[in-house]
Amino acid sequence: MSFDPRIVEAKLALGMIGAEEMPELACDALEAGLDGANILRMAALIRPSGWETDQILPRFMIEAGLKRISYEEACIRLARQLARRILAEELDPLDYTRDFELLWIRANYSAAIQDAGLLDDQKATAEYIGQTKAELRNYATDILRALITPGEPGVEILC
């Protein structure tokens, strides 16, 4: 895990970083050049309990320059991160439609990621009406580009 503050904030907001992963996260923060007594305390934990990490986490976040973000914003950040990864690594966006749908649902059906969230339903509909995989793949790729491109009509920029 590398230390990307925006993604760490999102994963913390969604409870996606367990107590056992906190020392590794703190080590990543140290490697990223961050420092502080609570970052060091977190990094030094061995088999930490949730209680231990919960005691350190608020001060760790301050030292690491992390802020608490909303559940919706966290989902949007992760959807955009996934879209960037799919496009950068030239992965098949059709393999990730369910991931976007789940993030959209967790974000309480946020308009900011609605088009990506609906890809799974659109995939099923496209297959039913006989749209080719290539056509659907191109459509999905366009949706992902719009999700990460600032200034696109219909794309709310929260990150």
pLDDT tens for 75-100 read 999 999 999 999 999 999 999 999 99
Q: What is the mean pLDDT of residues 15-25?
A: 97
What residues have CB less than 8 Å from 6, skipping those under 6 apart?
77, 159
Range of the domain at 91: 71-148
Q: Is 153 contained in some domain?
A: no
Q: How sure is the predictor about 26, in pLDDT bands with cuts at 50, 70 and 90?
A: very high
Kindly state whether residues 96 and 117 are assigned to the same domain.
yes
Q: How sure is the predictor about 40, in pLDDT bands with cuts at 50, 70 and 90?
A: very high
Kindly state whether residues 47 and 23 are assigned to the same domain.
yes
pTM of the complete model? 0.85
* Secondary structure (3-state) at 111: helix
Kindly state whether residues 55 and 103 are assigned to the same domain.
no
Kindly state whether residues 40 and 83 are assigned to the same domain.
no
Q: Which of the pair, 122 or 51, is modelled with greater confidence? A: 51
Report pLDDT digits (tens) over 101-116.
Answer: 999 999 999 999 999 9
In the predicted model, is pLDDT for residue 36 greater than 60? Answer: yes
Q: HSE-up of 119 (CA within 13 Å, CB side)?
A: 31
Report pLDDT digits (tens) over 137-152.
Answer: 999 999 999 999 865 4
Helices (H), the chain: 5-13, 22-31, 37-44, 50-64, 71-88, 97-106, 114-117, 119-129, 133-148
Kindly state whether residues 75 and 58 are assigned to the same domain.
no
Q: What is the mean pLDDT of residues 50-70?
A: 97
Kindly state whether residues 42 and 105 are assigned to the same domain.
no
Angle at 16 between CA 101 and CA 46, to 5 degrees: 160
Q: Please give the structure tokens belonging to residue 34.
A: 């961050």
Kindly state whether residues 88 and 55 are assigned to the same domain.
no
Kindly state whether residues 95 and 124 are assigned to the same domain.
yes
Q: In terms of Cα–Cα distance, which of 66, 95, 76 is closest to 148?
A: 76
Final residue of a structural domain among 15, 32, 64: 64
| Distance from C-alpha of 59 to C-alpha of 100, rounded to nearest angstrom | 32
Q: What type of residue sits at position 29? A: A
